[in-house]
């Protein structure tokens, strides 16, 4: 039996993204001038993954004098912050509206915690239990690469600071790698006596997903001259979730490989960078 939190992907986030794109485009075209061109943007900053997941797995078995053994595993996975880098090519339709083709990466090291509880009954009526609290064996990594098509509109073309709104559609490729220590029970017989013993393996695992979503953000350009500007931005990237089975690449006990993870690539960023305008 497995239990996990379920988040249903509906059309509501897509409809919201379409409305935001329409608003961004309309706010720019309402005051559009006739200055067009193209350019490049490069930025770097900090991002924060919104992913938090608790996974469960269990097993029940019996053997000889062990009339019942119940094992329960819990794996907690919490997102964290890390560096983000991005680059974009944009086509400027006028002084206010531009279309942007953006690539971005976010690199974080999540927290992993494991719990293990076991209860067993002997045929002589004895009932016992044991618990093990494990932690991540090394520093896991979560890498999210995003490709986006965005509409950007500046709210004014006067003054050194030009605030803007941005919204668009995104495609996400996420890879998670890590290891956690855990426990499991096994039985053996020695000298005519049956025993229950425990092993504490380290499980290397991986999870990979490809999802879609949208992004929204606000920012400002600080114009240095007609061909160059400093740019600052706060942005949210929202993705659908995808269920994946953690693929254990280490360890041999099959029940420890039964976790189902809902990978959520969504994240926030705050960045600063530079724009070159031609």
pLDDT tens-digit series, residues 181-193: 778 888 999 998 9
Mean residue pLDDT of the chain comes to 83
Q: What pLDDT is stored for residue 255 in this prediction?
A: 52
- For CA atoms 102, 108, 111, 112, the dihedral sign is positive
**23 pLDDT more than 50:** yes
**131 pLDDT more than 70:** yes
**130 pLDDT more than 60:** yes
Q: Classify strands 184-190 and 228-239 as parallel, antiparallel or unpaired.
A: unpaired
Domains by residue range for the chain, with CATH: 12-237+250-277 (2.40.160.20)
* Mean pLDDT, range 55-65, rounded to an integer: 89
* Mean pLDDT, range 71-100, rounded to an integer: 92
C-alpha 29/C-alpha 236 separation (Å) is 24
Q: Which of 28-32, 118-122, 188-192 has the lowest mean pLDDT?
A: 28-32
Q: What pLDDT is stored for residue 138 in this prediction?
A: 65
C-alpha 169/C-alpha 148 separation (Å) is 6
**239 pLDDT more than 50:** yes
78 forms beta bridges with: 52, 111
Q: What percent of the chain has pLDDT over 70?
A: 81
Phi-psi region of 270 (alpha: psi -120 to 50; beta: other; left: phi over 0): beta
Q: What pLDDT is stored for residue 158 in this prediction?
A: 82
In this structure, what are the phi and psi dihedrals at residue 41, rounded to the nearest 5 degrees?
Answer: -125, 135
Each residue's pLDDT tens digit, 254-267: 555 567 788 889 99
**104 pLDDT more than 80:** yes
* Mean pLDDT, range 160-189, rounded to an integer: 90
Confidence band, pLDDT 50/70/90 cuts, at residue 7: very low
Decide: 113 and 79 in contact? Cβ < 8 Å: no
Nearest of 116, 113, 4, 131 to residue 56 by alpha carbon: 4
* Mean pLDDT, range 17-23, rounded to an integer: 54
**4 pLDDT more than 50:** no
Each residue's pLDDT tens digit, 200-234: 877 777 888 999 999 999 999 998 988 899 999 99
More confident: 22 or 168? 168
**1 pLDDT more than 50:** no
Q: Which of 16-25, 96-105, 106-115 has the lowest mean pLDDT?
A: 16-25
* Mean pLDDT, range 109-126, rounded to an integer: 89
**5 pLDDT more than 50:** no
């Amino acid at each position: 039996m497995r239990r996990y939190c379920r988040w249903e992907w509906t059309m509501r986030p897509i409809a919201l993204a379409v409305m935001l794109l329409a608003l961004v485009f309309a706010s720019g075209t309402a005051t559009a001038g006739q200055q067009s061109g193209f350019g490049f943007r490069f930025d770097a900053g900090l991002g924060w993954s919104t992913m938090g997941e608790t996974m469960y797995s269990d097993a029940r078995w019996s053997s000889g004098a062990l009339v019942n053994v119940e094992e329960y595993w819990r794996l907690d996975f919490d997102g964290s912050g890390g560096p983000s880098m991005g680059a974009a090519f944009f086509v400027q339709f006028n002084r206010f509206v531009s279309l942007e083709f953006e690539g971005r990466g976010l690199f974080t090291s999540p927290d992993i915690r494991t719990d293990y509880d076991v209860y067993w009954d002997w045929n002589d009526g004895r009932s016992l239990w044991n618990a093990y609290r494990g932690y991540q064996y090394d520093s896991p990594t979560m890498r999210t690469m995003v490709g986006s098509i965005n509409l950007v509109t500046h709210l004014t073309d006067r003054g050194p600071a030009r605030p803007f709104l941005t919204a668009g559609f995104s495609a996400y490729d996420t890879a998670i790698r890590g290891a956690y220590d855990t426990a499991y029970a096994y039985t053996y017989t020695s000298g005519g006596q049956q025993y229950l013993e425990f092993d504490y393996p380290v499980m290397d695992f991986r999870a990979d997903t490809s999802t879609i979503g949208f992004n929204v953000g606000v920012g400002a350009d600080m114009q240095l001259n007609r061909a160059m500007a400093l740019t600052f931005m706060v942005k949210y990237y929202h993705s659908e979730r995808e269920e994946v089975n953690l693929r254990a690449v280490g360890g041999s006990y099959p029940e420890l490989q039964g976790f189902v993870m809902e990978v959520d690539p969504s994240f926030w960023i705050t960045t600063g960078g530079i724009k070159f305008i031609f």
